[in-house]
């Protein structure tokens, strides 16, 4: 088993992350990103054993062309590599209520993923393209679907129901599903190890803060509430997404401000969040630099980001009762000592005290506790969603 590898594909709407990973050690033999799909400057970059390479893809390339390139130009050029593959693991954003765990893909699974497309119209079709291309490239290998929503299927009705007529849930599946499940699961497992507790007895609040972001309350190792909703638009402030807003704003923008519904959705998904607030960028690093240079919009954006995050974390004391640790992960969570410090300062009512040195030193892939000795624990854990996908694949094909 030690020489067995999994090809992990994570197809977004305009990009594709891929990795060749050992499911036991988590070592990534190949790691890469194809991006700018359907644009003239479509391109691919990857690293093999830390050695970085990049190539343009033919103009307007998308998922199929990228997968073909990955197979023919990256994988097949390493002799014997594909012989070690035991499965291809696919990240699928939305599994609705149908999927509570990862599954081997067959025609019925494909149909069910298609049926969930209305819940993730940008993401599920991309995953299906990836599945079909991988089936063609590796016709004899098991293809496994790993769902972003699966970890959250333990959330109870009091947390997943909206206060809308129940018929909308029963007839149209309108409810909270949550996303980033593989990341929340991974960092929960790692946090339990760091806390030296069995996962079944671990209560943590996990904050996955990337371009998209979500916070999850994990009780006894299971998700009991999460900030994203039926779609990834809800919850905390994100790179370009607004997070929670008053639903009445939508009606106001359409009836009073001349927006079409499409225009409103574009505004809420692509022009809001850190980008909309700062007016300069959706990228936390750039906003921090601008804030340091005195840009008021950037400073306000960072403050609102931390405030909304802190409110979610505080709110999750309700389902958890006891909080063993707050866990920061994702690009911002792993790297922004500024956001972590501001957020924990806003939670001082719970007794959180940041250890400045540890907080500043825990960046760039390092994991560890960032709070003082006499404080409740907050920690940083570098996420590894690909590893969770590879582990699930290995488990399913060995069964």
| Nearest alpha carbon to residue 330 among 218, 211, 223 | 211
Q: Does the protein bind ligand ADP through residue 385 (CB under 6 A)?
A: no
Q: Does the protein bind ligand ADP through residue 278 (CB under 6 A)?
A: no
For ligand ADP, the closer of residues 5 and 301 by Cβ is 301
148 a catalytic residue: yes
Identify the bridge partners of residue 52 per DSSP, sorted by sequence position.
47
CA–CA separation, 144 and 109 (whole Å): 10
Min separation Cβ 135 and ligand ADP, Å? 26
Question: 41, 106, 148, 355: which one is catalytic?
Answer: 148
Q: Which residue has the tokens 């904050």?
A: 207
CA–CA separation, 382 and 391 (whole Å): 17
Q: Does the protein bind ligand ADP through residue 288 (CB under 6 A)?
A: yes
Min separation Cβ 342 and ligand ADP, Å? 12
Q: Helices 296-315 and 337-346 sit at what angle, rounded to 10 degrees?
A: 50
Min separation Cβ 104 and ligand ADP, Å? 26
Q: Does the protein bind ligand ADP through residue 229 (CB under 6 A)?
A: no
Min separation Cβ 335 and ligand ADP, Å? 3
Q: Of the ranges 113-121, 136-144, 171-179, 207-215, which one interacts with ligand ADP (CB under 6 A)?
A: 207-215
Q: Of the ranges 157-165, 227-235, 248-256, 284-292, which one interacts with ligand ADP (CB under 6 A)?
A: 284-292
Q: Does the protein bind ligand ADP through residue 13 (CB under 6 A)?
A: no
Min separation Cβ 12 and ligand ADP, Å? 8
Q: Does the protein bind ligand ADP through residue 210 (CB under 6 A)?
A: yes
- 392 is written with which tokens? 């699930």
Residue from 96, 239, 243, 276 that binds ligand ADP (CB under 6 A)?
A: 239
For 276, other C-beta atoms within 10 Å of its C-beta total 18
Pairing type for strands 5-11 and 213-219 reads unpaired
CA–CA separation, 155 and 308 (whole Å): 21
Q: Of the ranges 45-53, 83-91, 248-256, 326-334, which one interacts with ligand ADP (CB under 6 A)?
A: 326-334
- 244 is written with which tokens? 């929670």
For ligand ADP, the closer of residues 109 and 277 by Cβ is 277
Write the CB contacts of 8 (distance below 8 Å, at least 6 apart in sequence): 18, 19, 20, 21, 88, 89, 90, 91, 386, 389, 390, 393
Min separation Cβ 384 and ligand ADP, Å? 12
For ligand ADP, the closer of residues 210 and 243 by Cβ is 210
Residues 33-92 that bind ligand ADP (CB under 6 A): none
Identify the bridge partners of residue 46 per DSSP, sorted by sequence position.
32, 53
Find out whether 20 and 81 touch, Cβ atoms under 8 Å. yes
For ligand ADP, the closer of residues 27 and 285 by Cβ is 285
Q: Does the protein bind ligand ADP through residue 221 (CB under 6 A)?
A: no
For ligand ADP, the closer of residues 249 and 304 by Cβ is 304
For ligand ADP, the closer of residues 144 and 207 by Cβ is 207
Min separation Cβ 334 and ligand ADP, Å? 7
Identify the bridge partners of residue 54 per DSSP, sorted by sequence position.
45
| Nearest alpha carbon to residue 36 among 54, 52, 53 | 54
Sign, Cα dihedral of 261, 267, 268, 269: positive
Burial of 8 (0-12, 13-18, 19+ CB in 10 A): buried
Find out whether 198 and 328 touch, Cβ atoms under 8 Å. no
H/E stretch holding 125: helix 124-137
Residue from 266, 283, 289, 355 that binds ligand ADP (CB under 6 A)?
A: 283
For ligand ADP, the closer of residues 150 and 284 by Cβ is 284
Identify the bridge partners of residue 21 per DSSP, sorted by sequence position.
6, 28
Q: Which residues bind ligand ADP (CB under 6 A)?
A: 210-212, 239, 283-285, 288, 330-332, 335-336
Annotated catalytic sites, by residue?
Answer: 148
């Amino acid at each position: 088993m030690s020489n067995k590898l999994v090809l992990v594909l994570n197809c977004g709407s305009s990009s594709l992350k891929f990795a060749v990973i050992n499911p036991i050690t988590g070592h990534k033999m190949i790691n890469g990103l194809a991006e700018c799909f359907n644009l003239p400057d479509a391109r691919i970059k990857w690293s093999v054993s830390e050695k970085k390479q990049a190539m343009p893809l033919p103009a307007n390339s998308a998922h199929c062309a990228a997968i073909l390139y990955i197979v023919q130009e990256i994988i097949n050029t390493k002799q014997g590599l594909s012989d070690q593959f035991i499965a291809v693991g696919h990240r699928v954003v939305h599994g609705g209520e149908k999927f509570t765990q990862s599954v081997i893909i067959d025609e019925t699974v494909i149909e069910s993923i298609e049926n969930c497309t209305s819940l993730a119209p940008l993401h599920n079709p991309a995953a299906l393209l990836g599945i079909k291309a991988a089936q063609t490239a590796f016709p004899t290998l098991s293809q496994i679907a790993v769902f972003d929503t699966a970890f959250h299927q333990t959330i109870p009705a009091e947390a997943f129901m909206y206060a809308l007529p129940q018929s909308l849930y029963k007839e149209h599946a309108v409810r909270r599903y949550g996303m980033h499940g593989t990341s929340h699961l991974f960092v929960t497992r790692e946090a339990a190890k760091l806390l030296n507790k069995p996962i079944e007895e671990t209560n943590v609040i996990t904050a996955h803060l990337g371009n998209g972001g979500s916070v999850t309350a994990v009780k006894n190792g299971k998700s009991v509430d999460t900030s994203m909703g039926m779609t990834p638009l809800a919850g905390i402030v994100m790179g370009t997404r607004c997070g929670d807003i008053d639903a009445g704003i939508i009606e106001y923008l359409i009836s009073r401000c001349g927006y079409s519904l499409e225009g409103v959705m574009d505004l809420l998904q692509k022009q809001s969040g850190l980008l909309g607030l700062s007016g300069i960028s959706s990228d936390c690093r750039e906003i921090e630099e601008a804030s340091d240079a005195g840009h008021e919009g950037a400073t306000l954006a960072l403050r609102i980001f931390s405030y909304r995050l802190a409110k979610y974390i505080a709110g999750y004391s309700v389902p958890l009762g006891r909080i063993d640790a707050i866990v920061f992960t994702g690009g911002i969570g792993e790297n922004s000592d500024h956001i972590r410090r501001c957020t924990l300062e806003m939670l001082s009512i719970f007794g959180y005290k940041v250890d400045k040195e540890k907080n500043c030193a825990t960046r760039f892939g390092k994991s560890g506790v960032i709070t003082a000795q006499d404080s409740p624990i907050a920690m940083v854990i570098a996420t590894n969603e690909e590893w969770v996908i590879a582990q699930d694949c290995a488990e399913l094909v060995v069964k």
